[in-house]
Structure 1
Amino acid sequence: MTMKKIELEFPIHASPSFIYQYVSTPDSLGEWFADNVNSRGQNYTFIWDDSEEVAKRVAQRTDQFVRFKWIDADDEDAFFEFRIQVDALTKDVSLMVTDFADEGEEEELKMFWENKISDLKHAIGG
């Protein structure tokens, strides 16, 4: 089955360093992305209700982006990434989310991220 790359943009009224903390640290990810997040080195365990998934942090640049890869993902190329983008002219800040969906599940994935980013905005008071 082919995975389809999805890229979404969410304007967020907060500084890049503040947003970066929320998308890269276990405690902050546990406030909006999962019920609980633990990390050991590059491996992050995301816990929801009665399930848990482990992702490896495969790339990052402070205040710019962080990329995770699910350890047991079927697709070797699939990852999810949070990238902070600042408009050069307006200085507006957006969080770009990249993820991969199975064919036919793109809308579900978009709704998932819209809900999660809404939780993120609530957590940071945006």
Structure 2
Amino acid sequence: MSKKVLYTLEYPVRCSPVILYEFLSSASGLQEWFADKVDDRDGIYTFGWNGTDEKAEVIDKEENKFIRYHWLHAPKDEYFEFRIEKSEVTNQTILVIADFADKKDIKDQSQLWEYQVKDLFHRIGS
């Protein structure tokens, strides 16, 4: 089994960090764009896609700054993270997504994120 590598994607977004964070951290916000169904019980999120459920726990967060999830089935050192940054040059809000994938799968995974982020931006009107 090959070791997965961390990769990051950046997306400029026209939205306040407070509103964006709600879409990245709440079950109702995540259900709008990330999964078909999302439930949060005691810090364990259940994400549903096409009848298949995956569970993740929040392992770190700072309100309106970032939230990091760990898939319960994945190795302990792997996670996916949504980080909200501000461009020092343009003062624009930037959504930074960090995730793990096999090197050969990064392009496909990036395209999947691209599709989901477009849905997110549509939902928030960006």
TM-score, normalised with respect to structure 2: 0.96
Q: Superposed, which structure 2 residues align to 1:6-21 within 5 Å?
A: 6-21=7-22
Number of the residue aligned with 1:79: 79
Q: CA deviation at 1:55?
A: 0.1
Structure 1 residue identity aligned to 2:110: K
Unaligned stretches of 5+ in structure 1? none
Q: CA deviation at 1:90?
A: 2.0
Structure 1 residue identity aligned to 2:103: E
Q: CA deviation at 1:115?
A: 0.5
Number of the residue aligned with 1:107: 107
Number of the residue aligned with 1:125: 125
Number of the residue aligned with 1:30: 31
Identity across matched positions, percent: 35
Which SS does the other structure have where 2:104 is aligned?
Answer: coil
Which SS does the other structure have where 1:56 is aligned?
Answer: strand
Comparing 88-97 with 76-85, greater Cα deviation is found at: 88-97
Unaligned stretches of 5+ in structure 2? none
Which SS does the other structure have where 1:116 is aligned?
Answer: helix
Structure 2 residue identity aligned to 1:26: A
Number of the residue aligned with 1:70: 71
Number of the residue aligned with 1:56: 57
Please give the alpha-carbon distance, in whole angstroms, between the structure 2 residues aligned to 1:48 and 1:122: 20
Aligned length: 125
Q: CA deviation at 1:67?
A: 0.3
Please give the alpha-carbon distance, in whole angstroms, between the structure 1 residues aligned to 2:42 and 2:88: 34
Q: Please report the RMSD computed on the Cα atoms of aligned residues, expressed in angstroms.
A: 0.8
Please give the alpha-carbon distance, in whole angstroms, between the structure 1 residues aligned to 2:88 and 2:17: 13
**What do residues 62-115 of structure 1 show as CA deviations (whole Å, max 9, x unaligned)?**
000000000011x22110000000123421001000000023101111001100
Please give the alpha-carbon distance, in whole angstroms, between the structure 1 residues aligned to 2:91 and 2:40: 32
Structure 1 residue identity aligned to 2:93: V
Please give the alpha-carbon distance, in whole angstroms, between the structure 1 residues aligned to 2:29 and 2:18: 13
